[in-house]
Structure 1
Amino acid sequence: MKKRSSILQIRGEIGRGWYLGGVAGTFVIVLALWSAASWGGWVERTFLPTPLQVLEQFGNQIVSPEFWNHVGISISRVSIGFLLACLVGIPIGIFAGTFRFAEAVVLPQSEFIRYMPATAFVPLIMVWAGIGEMAKIWVIFLGCIFQIILMVADNVRSVSGELLQVSYTLGATRRQAIQQVLLRAVMPDLMNTMRMMIGWAWTYLVVAELVAASSGLGFSILKAQRFLNTDVIFVGIITIGLLGLLTDRAFAICHKRFFPWLEGGR
């Protein structure tokens, strides 16, 4: 009997060539549609610049010290806000995922607050923290922390109860079971959670830089919007996307390095 092609098979393996072809093909299709819309006159170039205009603007920006200043400031804001959210949210999430009483105290409130948009807190943040640098970091912090708490708690609850029972059978105390079994077992999923949440941090960057900012990629995008410099807006959006992709790849590499057995290594 002839073997079916694995291309459309559920969770079927495909060759590297097919995979790379799918990636490249998608970019080509998007670029072709963009080019047709702008060069073909479907959309006024004031509102949708051509790919060549964006590329030229990107070239102009990367040789500008002001552009790199915006990049550095945005990286700093995202990094600090994200790290603070992790430092506070991860222990709370572990606590809530480990003990049922903590779950009752923490998770319902976190579930409720996470549906409140971070933009709604901007006026309060300006009252509490002023319009300085901390206000921008607070927006990113609030945008991430409740998601982190819930996802980390879910990671902890997914650890097999049988694994903990075996540790008790072998004579482990509650503290040893938490430190040596639970935390070690949850580490791979915890890193994946951080990898996903750094993406949320980047999406909140533009919101954070609404708070009386005078620098940063979000500020440069908003400034360009006032003057309809859509090529500059595209450059800012693409730059944020590239920075987000780099941080995502960094987490993926660290995951393979720290947990090689999950990737089939030793």
Structure 2
Amino acid sequence: MPATSSNPALGAAVAAPASMPAAPAPARRRLCVPLEPVSARARWLLGLAFFAVFVAAWAVFTLGGFVSPTFLASPVTMVREGWLLFTEYHFAHDIGMTVWRVLGGFALAAAVGVPLGIAMGAWKGVEAFFEPFVSFCRYLPASAFIPLLILWAGIGELQKVLLIFIGSFFQIVLMVAVTVGGARRDLVEAAYTLGAGNRGIVTRVLIPGAAPDIAETLRLVLGWAWTYVIVAELIGSSSGIGHMIVDSQALLNTGQIIFGIIVIGVIGLVSDFAFKAANRRLFAWSTLR
């Protein structure tokens, strides 16, 4: 006859199944667990908390007199100068021009770069032909082309759009090529087994499989395009956020400079969220991978 334990707690521990899940850790402790996801609400609160801490530190250093207003305007001064930009200096027009230039150059780069990247990823002969030149151009700073672009296209809108195109195109091509070329071989072999031809492999296996990552690539490169447009507007421009920053620098108006930088960040953040939302709607199935 088997022996039984006289300790009720020990008996309960023995009787409990080994697979019983542990009690969930408190939210504050889960934040310290590596790779542990956080809720959407916690993510928003943490993100807003950082901005609040940043603005508070900025206010302490400027309003407290630790930094001269000549070198760094206070948050209050920045807001006041931003209001003047919109009400007296037609800053909304400058924002519109900058957004148009970014979208124009980026759309042109995506329209040419995505098909070329798909071709390089799908056909190794195409990759061998284009990849050395594209890799070489990828390391060239886009700002170095400004003198040549001014000679070729003047100082109008075409020069700025071409600069954004150059800065974005080669990045898109290589990143898309790597994404398409990394397709799962088992899916390709299964498609051949089911009777797909070479064209069907590209259009029905490689492109659909890489589409979510291609969209993510475009989202990332759009952020880089914003850096190029400001460089383009710093030289030979009569409108745009970059032009306003240059004028403000000549007047030592750090409030307007900071406001222009913040506007760029806000527009970029909004476009990033819009891109993410569009990707989730277009490729909802990719979350199941």
Q: Could you state the TM-score of these two structures normalised by the residue count of structure 1?
A: 0.94
Q: Residue type matched to 1:173 in 2?
A: G
Pairing 1:77-226 to 2, within 5 Å after superposition: 77-226=101-250
Shift in CA distance, 100/238, structure 1 to aligned 2, threshold 3 Å: same
Q: Which residue of 2 aligns with 1:14?
A: 38
Deviation at 1:3, TM superposition (A): 6.0
CA contact (8 A) 1:35 1:51 kept: yes
- Greater Cα radius of gyration, structure 1 or 2: 2
Deviation at 1:257, TM superposition (A): 0.8
Counterparts of 2:24 and 2:274 in 1: how far apart (Å)?
38
CA contact (8 A) 1:126 1:211 kept: no
Unaligned 5+ runs, structure 1: none
Deviation at 1:159, TM superposition (A): 1.6
Shift in CA distance, 260/173, structure 1 to aligned 2, threshold 3 Å: same
Q: Residue type matched to 2:206 in 1?
A: L
* Residue correspondences, number: 265
- How much is the aligned-residue C-alpha RMSD, in angstroms? 1.8
Counterparts of 1:96 and 1:260 in 2: how far apart (Å)?
26
Deviation at 1:213, TM superposition (A): 0.5
Deviation at 1:212, TM superposition (A): 1.0
Deviation at 1:2, TM superposition (A): 7.1
Counterparts of 1:16 and 1:178 in 2: how far apart (Å)?
37
CA contact (8 A) 1:136 1:211 kept: no
Shift in CA distance, 175/17, structure 1 to aligned 2, threshold 3 Å: closer
Pairing 1:58-77 to 2, within 5 Å after superposition: 58-64=82-88, 66-77=90-101
Unaligned 5+ runs, structure 2: 1-21
Q: Residue type matched to 2:131 in 1?
A: L
Counterparts of 1:250 and 1:103 in 2: how far apart (Å)?
32
Q: Could you state the TM-score of these two structures normalised by the residue count of structure 2?
A: 0.87
Deviation at 1:6, TM superposition (A): 2.1
2:261 to 215, 237, 253: 237
1:25 is aligned to 2:72? no
